[in-house]
Structure 1
């Protein structure tokens, strides 16, 4: 009996052990399959960079994952980093996703007036394989630019300082009133600032990673679109003073025009008096004003006209 009991216990333990062992094997197989069959997707407006990440290979660049890819098979442990390929913006002082809302760049004019400037930059990411790979490894990994938050942090870290530097360098060539109310000077300032920013940005990030808003991957990279709004003095009293000065100049110009008109009229009166005499001029003026009525009678017409002394009525 003791032998039979021992045999029964061994038999039950063997079945339970097999079930547990089978479950472990199944889990391992599932884990292995998930690592072997790794898939990647990209949105229509994003391009992916495929990097190796398995235990038997280095974490090196493998390939580009085109925009709009679905269920692309990649190796076990591999990673895909997605970056935007559509037009992007960085706006200082306006609404938008990539923006310093309510902010503005402070510059100092040639005549030492502090001005606030709002800026809009529109661009696209250079998607040439070597260029975007370099951007990812030099900038993207450091700032997590493949995420929405990291992308905005990247713009703040690299775009904003160069915009500040460009505007500050150029603003010292203009007096504040030129930038505030002279459209030609403002356009000149914008062009100069754009060129300076275009020069500074690649040096700061280490490459030509950004193209113009019309770039689509198949055409020329082009220049970034850089727009500035009217630079405005931070001291609003300066604007009030300028407007008061402009009103005074307008009133002065109006008075000068009135004086010129009166002088012209006086010269005309002097010339007529010199030609007609004082009484003749008064008679002419009275006739023109309708104070004396007269008619032209053809010669030979039987009309009797009473004689008398003609007088010129005085002005009332």
Structure 2
């Protein structure tokens, strides 16, 4: 009896041990399984580039991970590089994200005046696979543009030099005063600078990696939005001189208007003297000014004129 009981206990312990061991083996298997695979997710405003990174495969491009993806299964060691697909900006001289706020672009005008120019460029990244893949491999990896700091470095390295070159090439075609206070000339300058920048940027980066701000991935790429603020002389004394000159010109114009008015009045006097004679004109002027008063007396009419009574001096 005792012997049989001992055998039963031994069998029960063995069963429990097998169950615990099976659970442990299952957990270990799951850990190994999950270590062999990765899961990738992307934000709604970012697109992912999936590259292999396993021990037994090359680090080559595999696929595009669409914006807003959740828990996409990828291989062990694989990596996702995420890039923004919403509207972006690069601003020189200002404050905010993606802004080079250290200075302005310096432009030398046709008449050799140094001008400070603030520039705003608005754009989106071209998300088509045949474009964004070479962008990542040629520029993104080098500048780490898939990171926030790397993105700013990419803009500083590739956008800023081309903006400087575009403004420098176009600025010498205009006098500084034209760019400062002539809206038509400023608009021409902006259009020409935008055209030059649009030509220079693809050549510098190696492709049409950037589209206009209205690009959504399903429409035409479009041109980048390039705007400039009023170019301002770096020497503020030049502006003071221009304002003083403008005040003098306004004063001269006001004096000319006064002189023209006097001439008109003088011509009128000459015409009246020629028609009325000198005495007649003087009499007319005296009547109009109220210095001479007169009354119209009807023909054969009786008129009573009050005679003032002299005041009597009291005795």
Normalised-by-shorter TM-score class: 0.7 to 0.9
- Say whether 1:256 aligns with 2:263: no
Change (3 A) 1:268 1:102: farther
**Could you give the per-residue CA deviations for residues 61-108 of structure 1, whole angstroms, max 9, x where no partner exists?**
111101111111101111110000000000000011111114100010
Report SS of the residue matched to 1:187: helix
**Distance in 2 between residues matched to 1:153 and 1:27, nearest whole Å:** 45
Q: Is the 8 A contact 1:90 1:99 kept in 2?
A: yes
The residue that corresponds to 2:116 in the other structure is 116
* Matched residue SS, 2:227: strand
Is the counterpart of residue 127 in structure 1 residue 127 in structure 2?
yes
Number of equivalent positions: 284
Q: Partners in 2 of 1:154 and 1:27 — Cα distance? A: 45
Superposed CA deviations along residues 241-288 of structure 1, whole A, max 9, x for unmatched, are 111111111111111111111111111111111110111001111111
Question: 1:266, 1:203 → 2: CA distance?
Answer: 71
* Distance in 2 between residues matched to 1:66 and 1:301, nearest whole Å: 110
* Partner residue in 2 for 1:240: 240
Q: Deviations over 1:179-225 (max 9, x none)?
A: 00001100110000000000000000000000000111111111100
Q: How does 1:192-271 map to 2 (within 5 A)?
A: 192-271=192-271
The answer on whether the counterparts of 1:45 and 1:68 sit within 8 Å (CA) in structure 2 is: yes
CA contact (8 A) 1:45 1:67 kept: yes
Q: CA RMSD in A?
A: 2.0
Partner of 2:39: 39
Contact 1:51-1:80 at 8 Å conserved across structures: yes
Matches within 5 A, 1:73-112: 73-112=73-112
Partners of 2:28 and 2:179 lie apart in 1 by 70
Q: What is the TM-score of this pair, normalised by structure 2?
A: 0.86
Aligned to 1:223, what secondary structure does the other structure show? coil
Q: 1 CA distance for matches of 2:297 and 2:129?
A: 102
Map of 2:311 onto structure 1: none
- SS of 1:152's equivalent in the other structure is helix
Q: Does 1:170 align with 2:164?
A: no
| Contact 1:49/1:81 (8 A) holds in 2 | yes
Q: Any idea what the Cα deviations from partners look like across 1:141-188, whole Å, max 9, x if unmatched? A: 111000000000000000000000000000000000000000110011
Structure 1 portions without partners, runs of 5+: 1-21, 307-316
**Which residue is 1:50 aligned to?**
50
Q: Which residue of 2 aligns with 1:153?
A: 153
Where do 5+ consecutive residues of structure 2 fail to align?
1-21, 307-315
SS at match of 1:207: coil
- C-alpha separation in 1, matches of 2:244 and 2:298: 64
Shift of 1:302: 3.1
Indicate if the aligned counterparts of 1:91 and 1:120 stay in contact, CA closer than 8 A: yes
Q: Offset at 1:33?
A: 2.2
CA-CA distance at 1:291 after TM superposition: 1.7
CA separation in 2, counterparts of 1:276 and 1:90? 77
Query: How far off is 1:304 after superposition?
Result: 6.4
